[in-house]
Amino acid sequence: MPTALVTGVSAGLGRALAAALVRRKWTVVGDARDADALASAAREDGFTAVPGDVTDPAHRAALAEACPSLDLLVNNASSLGVSPLPPLARYPLAALEEVYCVNVFAPLALTQLLLPALASGVVMNISSDAAVEAYEGWGGYGSAKAALDQLTAVLGAEHPNLSVYAIDPGDLRTAMHQRAFPGEDISDRPLPSSAVPAFLRLLDERPPSGRYRAADLLVTA
C-alpha cells in the first residue's frame, strides 16, 4: 500500500486530496496546526493525524518518523500573511518573514528530511497564479510562491529519479482565500475537491517534473 504525507489537511485542498488518496487505498499521514480540526478530519476521512507546525523542526522530525517509507509528499500547508493584503511598500517585514518560513523554508526543509524515504517517488508543492502574475497586494504571498516554484524546478533538475511538481490549483473556495478577500462573497469559486483530479492525473501519468496548472490538466483530461 503506497504512503503519502500531506501537510495542512484539516480543511481545504489538503483535506480533499488526503481523502481522495484514502479512497484509493493509500496510507495517508497528515498534519495541521489546529489539533482539534485535524483530529476531526482524520476520523472522518481515515488518515493518520500528526498535529503540529511545519516550521517547527521537532514536528518535521515527527512527520519523518511517521513515514519511514514514502511515495508522495504534498507540501500544501501555506500562509497567506497579513489580511487585508497590504502593498509591499507597507508590508510588515516580520510578517513577510513568517510567510517565507511557512511557504518556502518549511517545504524545502521537509523535502530535505524525507528525500531518503522518497526513493523514486513524487513531490508536489502547491503554487499559485500569484507566483507568476503581478497582482496588487499579493507581493508577499506571490513572491514566496515564486521562490517555491524555483526551488521545485531545481529539485527536479537535481533529482531526476523523482517527479517534482509545482501545481497551481487555481482560485478555490477556502478559508485562506476568504482571508484574501475579507467581507467579500467568494461562493462563486469552485470547491477544493474540484482540483483534486488534476493532482491525481499527475500522480498517475508522471509527466516530466515542472510547473503545472490544474485548469490545464482538467481541460485535457
Q: How far apart are CA 74 and CA 148, in angstroms?
A: 13
Query: What is the distance in angstroms between the CA of the first residue and the CA of the last residue of the chain?
Result: 26
141 catalytically annotated = yes
Q: Which residue has the cell 527536479?
A: 156
Secondary structure, 3-state, the chain: CCEEEEECCCCHHHHHHHHHHHHCCCEEEEECCCHHHHHHHHHHHCCEECCCCCCCHHHHHHHHHHCCCCCEEEECCCCCCCCCCCCHHHCCHHHHHHHHHHHHHHHHHHHHHHHHHHCCCEEEEECCHHHCCCCCCCHHHHHHHHHHHHHHHHHHHHCCCCEEEEEECCCCCCHHHHHHCCCCCCCCCCCHHHHHHHHHHHHHHCCCCEEEEHHHHHHHC
Catalytic residue among 91, 100, 135, 141: 141
Which grid cell sits at 8?
495542512
- The set of catalytic residues is 141
